[in-house]
Amino acid sequence: AFTLLIVLYMFALGPLGFVVSSFLFLVAGMWVLGSRRLVHNVVVSALSLAAIYVVFQTAFSVVLPAGVLRGLL
């Protein structure tokens, strides 16, 4: 199931963008790996993703796919 999730994430990166697809992947990944605390999964995913996004954008100057959030980020 986790392998399928990775493949779906790969195909979602372009159209949905890094932020949306990564958030969905993290939440779903935690669920698939056994965490059934949805609110906890959402909070941990959002905080982790915010940190990753800031590091990649500011420290590494990496251009991440914007997808559906184009113009908002």
pLDDT tens digits, one per residue of 17-31: 999 999 999 999 999
Closest CA to 70 of 9, 19, 11, 23: 19
- Give the integer Cα–Cα distance in Å for 47 and 23: 10
Structure tokens that stand for 11 in this block: 């195909």
Residue entry with tokens 């990649």: 56
Given a cut of 80, whether residue 3 has pLDDT beyond it is: yes
pLDDT at 72: 80
Write down the pTM of the prediction. Answer: 0.91
